[in-house]
Amino acid sequence: MSANLLVELFTEELPPKALSALGASFSSSLFEELAASGFVARTVVARSFATPRRLAVLVPSVASESAGRTETRKLMPSKVAFDAAGQATAALKKRLEKEGASADQTERRTEGDTEYVYLTQSIPGVPLAQGLQLALEKALAKLPIPKVMGYQLEDGTTTVSFVRPAHALVALHGSEVVPVAVLGIEAGRVTHGHRFQGVKDIDVAAADAWEEALRAHGKVIASFEERKAEIERQLGLKAVECGASLGTPESIAPLLDEVTALVEFPTIYVGQFEAEFLAVPQECLILTMRANQKYFPLFDGQGKLTNRFLIVSNMELADPRNIVEGNQRVVRPRLSDARFFFETDKKTRLADRVPQLASIVFHNKLGSQLDRVRRLELVAEFIAARMGASVAHAREAAQLSKADLLSGMVGEFPELQGLMGGYYAEHEGRPNAVVRALKDQYLLRASDLSDPGNLVSACLYLADRTELLVGMFGIGNVPTGEKDPFGLRRAALGAISVFEALDLVAKSADAPVLALSDLLAFTRETFASGPIAETTDAAVSTFIYERYRNQLVVAHDRAAVDAVIALMPPLNEVVARVKAVIEFRKLPEAEALAAANKRIRNILKKADTVPSAVSSGLLVEAAEKALHEVLQSLQSDVDAEFGRRDYSAALRTLAGARGAVDTFFEQVMVNAEDAAVRANRLALLQQLDRLMNRVADISRLAA
């Protein structure tokens, strides 16, 4: 017999930030164990439920007894299982005894060069109570519990451990209770409603009736996703009623998940605070309302914060005045604190805070935050000089970049570092470019930095990421596997985003273009204490290009990306080159040229020395003369197109060499007996290789 199975574990309030993961783990682990044991088909879709006080799962079509099955397992190598006479060893006998099996259930199988003993057993079906007991225990053991707590059961002597004290267990197979027990609780059919507004004890008739019984009698929306959707719907309606908006979906998503984990039957109310608090930077008020109070601030049509906010309550009341007024009373001290920090911080100039950075350790091998600021000043100046930005403004922004770490506001809200420095700089009347640079320095990715008015932001942003990468690589703090405690992968992508956003061509024709190699070398030299080796430049450069490669292959042809990244060209040219190579691959000549290029590379690798130039007097065969003439004629066109960064045109021009290249390999023997002729042909191939691979390593496109 099969029926739907409902399992619910009722507890004290679960950690809100972990609730969604706990619910998903509980349902998926329980389902997986039941499916693996043959109680339910894997094609069945189980439903997961999670509220602040319960984890549950509903699994359709679960059998009352698992199907019998045959299971074959590898036991041990034959040389361990049998002695020289072919008799079972003590090791095999002990293993068979443990498995409750006999030797006639074994067989030998060869895998590679080794023979193993396998055991085949018939596993009889077991009743659901037995299977569910084991599945429950395994599911609870796999829960991603942030912190386990121990508590005593009602007997006053037994101690159990779980994320929160558990009080009830429901296990219904259809209308029948499944006799299982966990955490000292035996399963029944009684669930519990909303702590204040629902029926305390609800007798559930059957598994299918559980969800609706909770909603109708318990005032509980059991599904996490349905509860989240209901909160989102009500928030949207209230915002429209107020003529306001909630902000971007990305900005409210984490809070939406958190409040979903805090309520069982959500209702939205509108609160407000005194408009005078709006004199404080809105980011401070938004953060304190969202992070500390779990409120949803409301914004006007221009994205400016209003003095109203939305409260997600767990109580649906006809007269919610007490709830609204209580929340308004609670938020005022928080906003007052923010205003106090802001007004107090403004009394000390940023420049006066800079010397105090000497007391903050950046890294014990790299010095203090003040040491870091001095390096950032030099690197930002270096970048500004090559980007046509104001060197003075770049120096000023770098000097003040970490000063707000000593402010009261950032001490209370570390998420606001940089942003508050910008507000304090604005209060002091500093240049707009400096203010903007301070606010932009902690962006995940550079944006709009190609705006000439925002070049100082680009200088500080790039200086910060480059200094971090060189410093950390220089002392051996390199990311390994999933571990990246200093955010170096993020720093590399941030640096790349600057090169993407800017053309990085100097405003003055006489000034040099900013090159990554020059930037890394200069940055390394700013570490006065001398812990950074010259090899760090290459390591950081390789790391940056690897990150770029991993980012690009998500959206672009992998072979084209690899062909471009192999040359490690200027970062600001990478995307344009990749797009050009993708277009080149569509040409009928592309495949043959790629194969020829790969052949050329292999020939050149085997050569001891290759002359730097081709001697026309040593060209003997008509095919090699023709190839030389083609290369000479294409060179100027390719140079011009490459100079204009028209990489697609350059590759199309190079495709014109296909006929001469094919003829050369058909009619010319590169390894001629005459050493001078042979060397000259190698020089010709090297000239072709250099010309063909100016945009990308074309040989990597060969199949």
pLDDT for res 155 = 82
Domains plus CATH for the chain?
2-66+127-218 (3.30.70), 69-123 (no CATH), 224-345 (no CATH), 351-515 (1.10.3210), 588-701 (1.10.730.10)
Residues of the chain with pLDDT under 50: 505-511
Tell me the two tokens of residue 210: 């559980």
pLDDT of residue 644: 86
Quote the tokens at residue 238.
Answer: 């209230």
pLDDT score of 447: 63
Strand partners, 77: 116
Q: Are strands 176-177 and 267-272 parallel, antiparallel or unpaired?
A: unpaired
Q: Within 110-150, where are the H helices? A: 128-142
Short-list 449, 617, 474, 488, CA closest to 532? 474
CB-based contact 668:680 (threshold 8 Å): no
pLDDT value for 480: 86
DSSP E strands: which ranges in 166-263?
166-173, 176-177, 181-182, 185-186, 190-191, 202-203
One-letter amino acid at 65 equals E
What pLDDT is recorded for position 122? Answer: 82
The residue whose two tokens read 């081709």 is 614
Instruction: Please give, one letter per residue, the 3-state secondary structure of 457-523.
Output: HHHHHHHHHHHHHHHHHHCCCCCECCECCCCHHHHHHHHHHHHHHCCCCCCCCCCCCCCHHHHHHHH
- The tokens describing 378, both together, are 């030099």
What pLDDT digit, counting tens, does each position of 415-473 carry?
999 999 999 999 999 999 999 999 999 987 776 555 656 889 999 999 999 999 999 99
Integer Cα distance of 228 and 291 in angstroms: 18
Report residue 73: phi and psi, to 5°.
Answer: -135, 145
- Location of structure tokens 């996490």: 224
Question: How high is the pLDDT of residue 509?
Answer: 40
Count the Cβ atoms, other than its own, within 10 Å of residue 63.
21
Q: Render pLDDT for 561-578 as a digit per residue (tens, 0 to 9).
A: 999 999 999 888 899 999
Looking at residue 510, its pLDDT comes to 46
Report the distance separating Cα 542 and Cα 553, nearest Å. 16
